[in-house]
Amino acid sequence: MKIALDAMGGDHAPFEIIKAAVEALDLFDDIEIVLVGREADIKRELGDNYNKGRIEIINADEVIAMDESPITAIRKKKDSSIVKGMDLLKEKEIDAFISAGNTGAVMSAALFGPGRIKGIKRPSIIINFPNITGQTLVLDNGANTDTKPEHLLQFAIMGQIYAEKVLGIKNPRVGLLSIGEEKEKGNQLVKDTFPLLEEDPRIKNFIGNVEGRDIFNGRCDIVVCDGFVGNIVLKTTEGVASFMFKMLKDAFTKSLRAKIGALLLKPYLKALLEKTDYHQYGGAPLLGINGVVMISHGSSDRIAIANAVKAARDTVLLDLVNYIENEINREGE
């Protein structure tokens, strides 16, 4: 199995990406790593003593910056690591592509490269949120800011498949994000989507409308929304988590008594931090693309990227793309 990494993507590229590649090879003996990026920079970080039989370097001289317009960038920078990585995926020369670079560019390059799975109208980014009993999947998280009810239906189907096949959740509960639990609550998109989710036989366990708090209280396993709302949920959650941990840190360093209390609570605080840490998930799958694509956080380090490699490997082994295609087209979608 060949998994390609965008060696130039993210705040800590290429150093952390390359370290993650080396660590991933130690974790899994059934994968090869393809590093896509500036060959000179990659070789400088790798050194001479690397496993040339399991690490391949594909030169890409151009880099798409985080603040560049995605469409313009992929059109003008054909020799960028993102575009070349997606070309490799399109030609089936690799089994998965991982990038911590410009999310919009990854999304656009995926559409122009491997393209959508047959029957899929819009791809979707799926994010794992921690809840009190485990995790909640939320999609879409920014791939689509303007959507139609049929798009949200497909997001629900893809999320259900991911929950069942990748996470092993039996009969996952699907909720539609709204401003109230009642069927008549919500904007027009939510109102029009509700009957589609309620009546489609492919949605096995639709529990109706859910609210933002239900993402974290364990009431459902999958929350469906448009990408505009989903991205706001994601960024707000990150902000609140950062704020709370800073407040705790300030509180625990104000006095000797507070420092002693912090020391006693350290194991529990560490467990809480790990539960909310994006590093453990590694990357967000871009579902609906005709190939395995993982989008990692821009500040991902070697731990996060190595976990993204694990997630990509699991997704390839489970043949998730074919599962999605078969389910989407089962009822003539």
First to last CA, the chain: 31
If you ran DSSP here, which 8-state letter would residue 247 be given? H
Write down the pLDDT at residue 7: 96
**Residues 257-274: pLDDT tens digits?**
777 777 776 676 666 566
Measure CA 286 to chain center: 6
Q: pLDDT tens digits, residue range 125-137?
A: 998 888 888 889 9
pLDDT exceeds cutoff 50 at 332? no
Which two tokens mark 307?
């976990």
Closest to 95 in 3D by CA, of 257, 273, 311: 311
* pTM for this predicted structure: 0.87
- pLDDT of res. 300: 85
| Residue range 225-254, pLDDT digits in tens | 999 999 999 888 888 877 877 877 787 787
* Helix, strand, coil percentages, rounded to 5, for the chain: 45, 15, 35
Answer for the pair 194, 149: CB distance below 8 angstroms, yes or no: no
Taking residue 197's Cβ as centre, other Cβ atoms within 10 Å add up to: 23
Question: How would residue 280 be classed by pLDDT, with cut points 50, 70 and 90?
Answer: low
DSSP conformation letters of 117-150: PTT-SS-EEEEEEE-SSSEEEEE-SSS-SS--HH
Q: Which domains does the chain have, with CATH numbers?
A: 1-120+281-318 (3.40.718.10), 122-251 (3.40.718.10)
H or E stretch at 75: helix 70-76
Give 188-242 as a DSSP string. HHHHHHHHHHHH-TT---EEEEE-GGGGTTTS-SEEE--HHHHHHHHHHHHHHHH
Beta strands 284-287; 124-130: pairing state:
antiparallel
Gap between the Cα atoms of 72 and 199, Å rounded = 41
- CB contact at 8 A, 67 and 287: no
Measured distance CA(129)–CA(138) in Å, rounded: 7
CB neighbours of residue 177 within 10 Å:
23
Of the two residues 139 and 47, the one the predictor is more confident about is 139
- Give 39's DSSP letter: H
Q: How far apart are CA 92 and CA 156, in angstroms?
A: 27
- Residue 194 banded pLDDT, cuts 50, 70, 90: very high
Please give the pLDDT value at position 330.
Answer: 78
Give the DSSP letter of residue 62: B
pLDDT (tens digit, 9 = 90+) per residue, 163-189?
A: 999 889 999 999 999 999 998 899 999
Pairing of β 32-37 and β 2-6: parallel
